[in-house]
Structure 1
Amino acid sequence: MTDTRIIVGAIAGAFGVHGEVRIKSFCADPEDIGEYSPLTSEDGTEYVLTLTRAIKNGFAAEIEGVETKEEADALRGVTLYADRAHLPSLPDDEFYHADLIGLTVLDTGGAVLGTVRNVLNHGAGDLLEVQGPELKTPVLLPFTLQNVPTVDLASGRIIADPPDGLFE
Structure 2
Amino acid sequence: MPPRTSATSVLLGVIGAAHGLKGEVRVRSFTDDPESLGAYGPLHDAEGNRYTVRSARLQKTVVVVRFEEVRDRSAAERLNGRELFVDRSALPEEEDEDDFYQSDLVGLSVVTVGGQAVGTLIGFHDFGAGEIAEIQPEKGPSVLIPFSQAAVPEIDIKRGVIVVEPFAAGLESSDPADDDAPEPGTGADEEASGSGGEPT
Which band: TM-score by shorter chain?
0.7 to 0.9
Determine the structure 2 residue equivalent to 1:67.
Answer: 71
Matched, 1:108 2:113: yes
CA spacing shift, 1:140–1:88, aligned 2, 3 Å? same
Determine the structure 2 residue equivalent to 1:30.
Answer: 34
Task: Give the greater-gyration-radius structure (CA).
Answer: 2
Q: For residues 70-124 of structure 1, what are the alpha-carbon distances to aligned partners after superposition, in whole Å with 9 as ceiling and x for unaligned?
A: 1222222211001112223344444323222221112334332111122234455
CA spacing shift, 1:122–1:92, aligned 2, 3 Å? farther
Q: Confirm or deny: 8 A CA contact 2:132 2:146 kept in the other structure.
A: yes
Match of 1:20 among 18, 24, 34: 24
Deviation at residue 35 of structure 1 after TM alignment: 0.7
Q: Paired residues, what number?
A: 167
Write out the 4+ residue segments of structure 1 that deviate beyond 6 Å after TM superposition: none
Quote the Cα distance in structure 2 between the aligned partners of 1:108 and 1:29. Answer: 34
Quote the Cα distance in structure 2 between the aligned partners of 1:140 and 1:94. Answer: 23
CA spacing shift, 1:53–1:123, aligned 2, 3 Å? closer
Runs of 5+ unmatched residues, structure 1: none
CA spacing shift, 1:147–1:53, aligned 2, 3 Å? closer
Deviation at residue 23 of structure 1 after TM alignment: 2.2
Aligned amino acid, residue 107 of structure 1:
T
SS of the equivalent of 2:135 reads: strand
Determine the structure 2 residue equivalent to 1:166.
Answer: 171
Deviation at residue 146 of structure 1 after TM alignment: 4.0
Cα RMSD of the aligned pairs, angstroms, is 2.8
Determine the structure 1 residue equivalent to 2:91.
Answer: 87
Q: Confirm or deny: 8 A CA contact 2:34 2:58 kept in the other structure.
A: no
Deviation at residue 2 of structure 1 after TM alignment: 5.8
CA spacing shift, 1:109–1:123, aligned 2, 3 Å? same
Q: Confirm or deny: 8 A CA contact 2:14 2:28 kept in the other structure.
A: yes
CA spacing shift, 1:35–1:55, aligned 2, 3 Å? same
Q: Confirm or deny: 8 A CA contact 1:37 1:47 kept in the other structure.
A: no
Which structure has more RCO (C-alpha within 8 Å, separation ≥ 6)? 1
Aligned amino acid, residue 75 of structure 2:
E
TM-score by length of 2: 0.69
Determine the structure 1 residue equivalent to 2:61.
Answer: 57
Which one is further off, 89-98 or 27-36? 89-98
CA spacing shift, 1:58–1:145, aligned 2, 3 Å? closer
What is the percentage of aligned positions where both structures have the same residue? 37
Aligned amino acid, residue 153 of structure 2:
P
